[in-house]
Amino acid sequence: MVNQLFSNPSVMLLSAAVLGLLGLVPGMPNLVFLLFTAGLLGLAWWIRGREQKAPAEPKPVKMAENNTVVEATWNDVQLEDSLGMEVGYRLIPMVDFQQDGELLGRIRSIRKKFAQEMGFLPAGGAHS
């Protein structure tokens, strides 16, 4: 986390601006805040110069030996969290298969469509 904060020059510039404003408030320890402001500005300048000197190159993606695409199925995924739904008495006919309720089927089809569009299978429960 520290690496993420100190590797971005815009974070340093924003922090320097806040400390600089605090240093200008009367009654605050002006010298301390302005010294920290100068230090953060120097750090941001150094980080930006280092980034411009050596731009990050994307790492090559390693492909598997066999170039076959294997699609995930519902049996490939371990279900960690079960999906529960509480319905009131008036909604029981919508979820009861004996009364031609189709709500659970619709939820199942929405989850499968989501999995196909997003590329992963969300956690599910008894209806999957």
Buried b (16+ CB within 10 A) or exposed e, 20-47: bebbeeeeeeeeebbebbeebbebbeeb
Window from 17-21, 33-37, 41-45, 123-127 with minimum mean pLDDT: 123-127
Q: What is the pTM of this model?
A: 0.41
| One-letter identity of residue 106 | R
User: Is the model more confident about 64 or about 13?
Assistant: 13
Confidence of residue 75 (pLDDT cuts 50, 70, 90): low
What tens digit of pLDDT does each residue of 98-118 get? 888 888 788 878 877 877 777
Domain residue spans of the chain: 2-53, 74-118
Spatial neighbors of 9 by CB under 8 A, at least 6 apart, are 44, 45, 47, 48, 51
